[in-house]
Structure 1
Amino acid sequence: MNFKRYKHFFMKRYWILIMAGMATACNQPTQQSGHEADTIHPAAVETAPVTDSTTLIQPGKRIGITVIQANADSLIKIIGKPDFSDAAMGTYLNTWYARHTDGIYQTSIFSQRNMGGPDEAITHVKSVYVTSHAFRTTNGLGPGTQMSTIQNLYTLQHTGTFVKDKDSLDLYEDLKSGISFEAGKDGICRGVLVYAPEDSGAARRSVHSDWTFVAKK
């Protein structure tokens, strides 16, 4: 096998495995919402702190290998074709779904071109979102953590709720730090969104194409 082709194939599979947080993973159909795991994982999960950069959540900076302001096009070449894409006026939302042994996990990257700027050709990452329990902050917080634990370490503001049928996800953001958390009705974190500190546009831009956001008054 050609070495360059083999290396490219390996990197794509490696990233998909990391997103799923297990030894085997596969992409799911576009119509999956990525929130089926909300009902499949009713219990909170507390894990040890993460130091591996490939699964590390750093508020305001990165989740795994996806770094805020990085070239999204280069990342997609590594990750592979998204399961869902939406683009309009220089903005792009790309989503991947990976099946774990007991659920479906979502990774979404929102990116944007600096239209009319000298770097217009580059699509910059503005936010990255994950639901897999594999991703953790240095102090062990992430999807699956009790929100009461997260609230002890972040200054959170409840900005609104995502609604779909009878299900809902409350959104809590720490805009200064550059991180937001979604919580289910059971008070457990379901997803984490990272963006540049004070970037309210990225913080409040939905990564859920089939959910309605109701802002808190």
Structure 2
Amino acid sequence: MEQVAEKLGRPDAGDAAMGKAWGIWYGSDSTAKRRDEIAIYSSYRDTSMRVKDVKQIRITSNAFKTQDGLATGANLEDTKLKFPDIKKLSSYLNEKKDTVVVYDAKKEGIGFEFLKGKSISLTVHPVNTAVNDTYLTLHPEWKLIN
């Protein structure tokens, strides 16, 4: 995480508990309808509690893309073409009472959040571990509906 802080600077927001932490950096475009963010989840590598590892990277900006060009804003059908093993994990009501649906391509190590048919985030995570098995709740204000 020290290398992350060297590259991105001090996080704009975050949350930490019991050796696990989110660092959140916001984009500087004040003309956007919503702020782009990069959120990095880290935890200690082992019980020595000396070295932290990055466990997940979540982005909301379409400036970042997968190796094959997928970015936020893609629809579910396009996402399924790139990640055919994608599975729906859960649905939430956000602060505006819109439904956000979380999908995961567990074997590939990438998760997605969809709102109104378009992806609003990509989360890179360890392969063969579900996206929601490792992270602290990034949006505690969201209500789980299934």
TM-score normalised by structure 1 residue count: 0.59
Question: Counterpart of 2:36?
Answer: 105
In angstroms, what is the RMSD of aligned CA positions?
1.6
Structure showing the higher helix proportion among its residues: 1
- Within the candidate set 67, 80, 90, 1:160 is matched to 90
Structure 1 portions without partners, runs of 5+:
1-71
Question: Counterpart of 1:211?
Answer: 142
Question: Counterpart of 1:142?
Answer: 71
Match runs of 1:64-143 below 5 Å: 72-100=1-29, 101-103=31-33, 104-117=35-48, 120-143=49-72
1:140 Cα deviation (Å)?
A: 1.6
Structure number, greater radius of gyration: 1
Question: Counterpart of 2:121?
Answer: 191
In 2: Cα distance, 1:95 partner to 1:210 partner:
16
Structure showing the higher strand proportion among its residues: 2
1:115 Cα deviation (Å)?
A: 4.3
State how many pairs are aligned: 139
Identify which of structures 1 and 2 has the higher relative contact order when contacts are C-alpha pairs closer than 8 Å and 6+ apart: 1
1:169 Cα deviation (Å)?
A: 1.1
For 1:152, what is the secondary structure of its paired residue?
helix
Structure 2 portions without partners, runs of 5+:
none
1:74 Cα deviation (Å)?
A: 1.9
TM-score normalised by structure 2 residue count: 0.86
In 1: Cα distance, 2:27 partner to 2:111 partner:
22
Match runs of 1:12-91 below 5 Å: 72-91=1-20
